[in-house]
Each structure stands twice: as C-alpha cells, then as structure tokens.
C-alpha cells in the first residue's frame, strides 16, 4: 500500500522523469528528501513553540482537507503579505510625522524590519511570519513554506499571559504537522502509526472554488415598493423606500484610511482590504454622519484615486 507521504507532498506525479506539480498545479521540481527534512526541522520548531508555550492558548484548528483548501491557504499568505506591506508603509508615515496614527505602533518607536515578516528564498520556498501582522512576536521561530508541500492545518493562538509587547498577540498560522512531512525512511514505527492516524480520512479530491463576495452593505427592509416601471424592452424593479440599513463591517485584516483635508482636519473615509480601497458608500449606516466636504470628496473618483496613489504608491491596486 502506497503511503500518504507522496500524496501529501506532491499531490500527483506528472511523469516518470521526476516532474511534479506544486500546490497550484504548475510544473515543478519534485521535492527531495532534503527538502522535506528542511521543512520538517522548521515545522518542529514552530509547532512546538506554540503548542508548548504557556503564554499562548490555542483557540481553533482548521484542517486543510482538500487541494482547494491548500491553495486558499497560500492565497491567504499572499494577502497577508500585502496587508503587512500596507501597514508597514502606514507606520513609516506616522513615525515620520507624515500622517495621523491609524495603525498600532510599536512601543519602541521603530518600525519592524520587513525581513522580520517575509523572506524570499527561491522559486519554491519562503519564510513568512503568520497570517496576522497587528502584533508580531519576532522571537518565535520563523515559519518556512514550500509551495510543493502542503500545510495540514491553520491554527489560531492568543497570548493572554505575558506582560511584554506580545500580550494580546493573536496568531493565525498555517502549520505543517512535523510527523507528516518527516522523510518516510526516518520515521520510527510509532511515528508511522501516528502519521497514518493523522492522515486517515484526508480527502485530496478537488473541492469547488468558492466565489469571494465583495464586502458591501446589506440592506434590510420591511417596506419596499416593488412597482414595475414600464419600458419598451426592459422591466425594472426599483425599491423606492428603504427603512433600515445594516452596515457590514470590514474583515479583521482591513486597514482604516483617513483623509487629511487642506485645512488640517481628518476623517475616516474607508478601508484598505488587501491592496484595494473600499470607500464609504451612501448606503453605509454612518455615511450620513460624514461632513459634507468629505462626502463630496468620496464622489470624486479621480481625486480619490490621485490621493490614494500619493498615499500608498504602488501598493494601491484600485477600488474594491
């Protein structure tokens, strides 16, 4: 019986010439035993740090059961890197006195070096701290990822005990379970049993791709006029009365964006979600509390685009 080892690491072999595919389905060099050992040694440090550290409490484990789960995990890592870069830029502007505080600042008054969060190694491997970047424990082991080898879980932890800068640290980290990536010939008999028990029931068939819906206000109404308006070729249903707005708040990784007007005032005008800007809309619950000047500014997409280009440079990638 073939082991799950090659299934988990490679998913599928394309031919007999050591040609494999990565987690995205692209042609790749097959990972060697040494590649697997490198991932194993790193995974052991990272896993044991969070599992055995009395300062951190595990909140949740999400099992990556399908190929699509793993692909989505690596997409999350990409989005997290984009979010970190935006937050890093905002911290830099605040620390240089160029902007008002809109992000959590380090107590020592210094921005975290970028290579403390992400380091590129080669076409297959990279170091990345975690999926969160509000508080970073840079004393924790630096997780290593290989896009030819699938992580098995995403674990959530929270630091509730320590009395230093890491108190309140919420960690969302993709993990390789060490025994599942250890080279097969190096496994002890007991480790083989543990691995088989862990991998039992994993489904590696493709899962359907879920469409990510944009974050827009939800409208709840108890009295909507759905009178049909006559038209030559088209019938339109137009709601003419809306009784109640319910604002859908942005996800945890959204970053508030403030606009500083020429007269020195400042106001929240929307959020950066990844590299895209989601501005406040007239259907948002608190839009109507904005000063008139800011409402007019939000209607002017050309000026808004210009402002965002100046504020975020190449990180800005259009409207959400």
> Residue 252 domain-assigned?
yes
Domain end residue (candidates: 164, 199, 234)? 199
Residue 68 shares a structural domain with residue 144: yes
Q: What is the predicted pLDDT for the residue at 266?
A: 67
Domain count across the chain: 2
Residue 25 shares a structural domain with residue 85: yes
What are phi and psi for residue 118, nearest 5 degrees?
-145, 135
Residue 46 shares a structural domain with residue 156: yes
Residue 183 shares a structural domain with residue 62: yes
The answer to whether the predicted template modeling score (pTM) of the entire model surpasses 0.75 is: no
- Summarised one tens digit per residue, pLDDT across range 151-168 is 999 999 988 776 666 666
Round to whole Å and give the CA distance between 90 and 100.
9
Q: Is residue 110 a contact partner of residue 263, using CB atoms and an 8 Å limit?
A: no
Q: What is the predicted pLDDT for the residue at 87?
A: 78
Round to whole Å and give the CA distance between 204 and 30.
18
Domain that residue 62 falls in: 5-199
Rounded to an integer, the average pLDDT of 208-215 is: 41
Q: What is the predicted pLDDT for the residue at 50?
A: 92
> Residue 206 domain-assigned?
no
Residue 104 shares a structural domain with residue 252: no
> Residue 150 domain-assigned?
yes
> Residue 205 domain-assigned?
no
Q: Is residue 319 a contact partner of residue 302, using CB atoms and an 8 Å limit?
A: no
Domain end residue (candidates: 199, 227, 262)? 199
Residue 162 shares a structural domain with residue 261: no
Round to whole Å and give the CA distance between 282 and 204.
44
> Residue 169 domain-assigned?
yes
Pairwise pLDDT comparison (17 vs 183), residue with the higher score: 183
Q: 170: part of which helix (H) or strand (E)?
A: strand 170-175
User: Above pLDDT 90, what percent of the chain?
Assistant: 25
Q: How far is CA 181 from CA 22, 38, 58, 80, 188, in A?
A: 15, 9, 22, 24, 13
- 36 falls in which pLDDT band (50, 70, 90)? very high
Residue 230 shares a structural domain with residue 296: yes
Rounded to an integer, the average pLDDT of 55-84 is: 90
Residue 195 shares a structural domain with residue 235: no
Bridge partners of 19, per DSSP, are 29
- 17 falls in which pLDDT band (50, 70, 90)? very low
Q: Is residue 73 a contact partner of residue 64, using CB atoms and an 8 Å limit?
A: yes
Residue 13 shares a structural domain with residue 86: yes
Residue 195 shares a structural domain with residue 271: no
> Residue 320 domain-assigned?
no
> Residue 287 domain-assigned?
yes
Residue 192 shares a structural domain with residue 232: no
Residue 195 shares a structural domain with residue 229: no
> Residue 121 domain-assigned?
yes
């Amino acid at each position: 019986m073939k082991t799950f080892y090659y299934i988990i690491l490679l998913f599928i072999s394309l031919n007999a010439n050591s040609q494999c595919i990565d987690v995205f389905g692209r042609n790749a060099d097959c990972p060697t035993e040494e590649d697997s050992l490198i991932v194993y040694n790193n995974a052991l440090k990272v896993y044991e740090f969070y599992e055995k550290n009395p300062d951190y409490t595990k909140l949740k484990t999400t099992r990556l059961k399908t190929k699509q789960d793993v692909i989505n995990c690596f997409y999350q890592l990409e989005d997290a890197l984009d979010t970190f870069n935006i937050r890093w830029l905002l911290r830099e502007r605040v620390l240089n006195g160029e902007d008002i505080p809109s992000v959590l600042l380090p107590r020592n008054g210094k921005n975290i070096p970028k290579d403390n969060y992400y380091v590129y190694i080669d076409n297959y491997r990279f170091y990345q701290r975690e999926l969160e970047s509000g508080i970073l424990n840079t004393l924790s082991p630096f997780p290593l990822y290989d896009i030819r080898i699938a992580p098995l879980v995403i674990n959530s932890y929270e630091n509730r005990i320590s009395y230093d800068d890491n108190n309140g640290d919420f960690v969302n980290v993709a993990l390789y379970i060490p025994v599942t990536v250890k080279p097969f010939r190096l496994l002890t008999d007991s480790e083989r049993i543990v691995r088989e028990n862990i991998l039992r029931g994993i489904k590696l068939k493709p899962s359907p791709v879920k469409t990510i819906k944009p974050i827009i206000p939800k409208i709840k109404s108890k009295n909507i006029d759905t009178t049909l308006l006559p038209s030559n070729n088209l019938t339109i249903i137009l709601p003419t009365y809306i009784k109640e707005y319910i604002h859908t708040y942005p996800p945890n990784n959204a970053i508030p964006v403030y606009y500083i007007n020429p007269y020195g005032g400042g106001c929240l005008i929307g959020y950066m979600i990844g590299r895209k800007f989601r501005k406040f809309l007239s259907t948002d619950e608190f839009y109507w509390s904005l000063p008139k000047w800011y409402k007019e500014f939000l209607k002017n997409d050309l000026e808004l685009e210009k402002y965002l280009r100046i504020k975020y440079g190449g990180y800005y990638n259009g409207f959400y």
